[in-house]
Amino acid sequence: MGKTTLVGAVSEIVPLRTEALVTNASAGIDSLAGIESKSTTTVAMDFGRISLADDLVLYLFGTPGQYRFWFMWDDLIRGAIGAVVLIDTRRLEDSFAAVDYFEARNLPFLVALNQFDDAPQYPIEDIRQALAVPADVPIMPIDARRREPAKEALVRLTEYALQKVTRGY
Ligand SMILES: Nc1nc2c(ncn2[C@@H]2O[C@H](COP(=O)(O)OP(=O)(O)O)[C@@H](O)[C@H]2O)c(=O)[nH]1
Ligand SMILES: [Mg+2]
């Protein structure tokens, strides 16, 4: 949760949003356990843009993490600088597959922790262990509603991705 919010907070163009209700068709597929108050979930994509410097513009694509949307990821990761895995600490297990996906494809990724008010707060190193994320992967708490921390996460991801490229792995 927080993908639409995050893209909206940082994008300098009006974000393009496609959102649809979770219907009975997906009952049993999308577990709403622990997030009963949320009646919709993203079923398509958010698109935005942010300029980090005159010669550095990021295009942002927000897509859901569930396995049935991975067909979109396979296209999006072509030419991508990296990925932000936005984590809800109330449903940590939902993020395992996304972490595996980016690791397996060697795409630099950063883990952003969405701090929901009622969400359990864990030390960052506990999250790293729970997700089995390698030590060099940045993990940052963010508030997707606020532009500055959200932008900082994107800057950090870009730096991290550049580091990986220049070190040649
Ligand atoms: N407290 C808090 N609420 C957030 C944060 N990010 C998103 N939300 C709220 O969570 C709800 C779902 O966010 P949304 O961006 O639509 O999730 P999406 O399904 O991933 O696109 C909205 O009501 C947001 O206002 C955050 O970082 N902190
Ligand atoms: Mg959304």
Q: Which tokens in the block code for residue 68?
A: 């049935």
114 lines ligand 1 (CB under 6 A): yes
Predicted confidence (pLDDT) at residue 10 exceeds the cutoff of 60: yes
How confident is the model at residue 50, as a pLDDT?
97
Q: Are 42 and 4 in contact (CB under 8 A)?
A: yes
CA of 35 to the centre of ligand 1 (A): 11
Q: What is the DSSP-derived secondary structure letter of residue 30?
A: B
The sign of the dihedral angle between the CA atoms of 26, 27, 29, 32 is positive
Q: What is the DSSP-derived secondary structure letter of residue 66?
A: S
Helices (H), ranges, the chain: 3-10, 70-76, 96-104, 124-131, 147-167
As residues whose CB is below 5 A from the ion ligand 2, the structure lists 3-4, 42
What structural domains and CATH numbers belong to the chain? 3-166 (3.40.50.300)
How confident is the model at residue 103, as a pLDDT?
95
Residue type, 111: V
Mean per-residue pLDDT, 71-96: 91
Question: What is the model's pTM?
Answer: 0.85
149 lines ligand 1 (CB under 6 A): no
Is the model more confident about 1 or about 163?
A: 163
CA of 169 to the centre of ligand 2 (A): 32
117 lines ligand 1 (CB under 6 A): yes
Residue with tokens 């993020």: 95
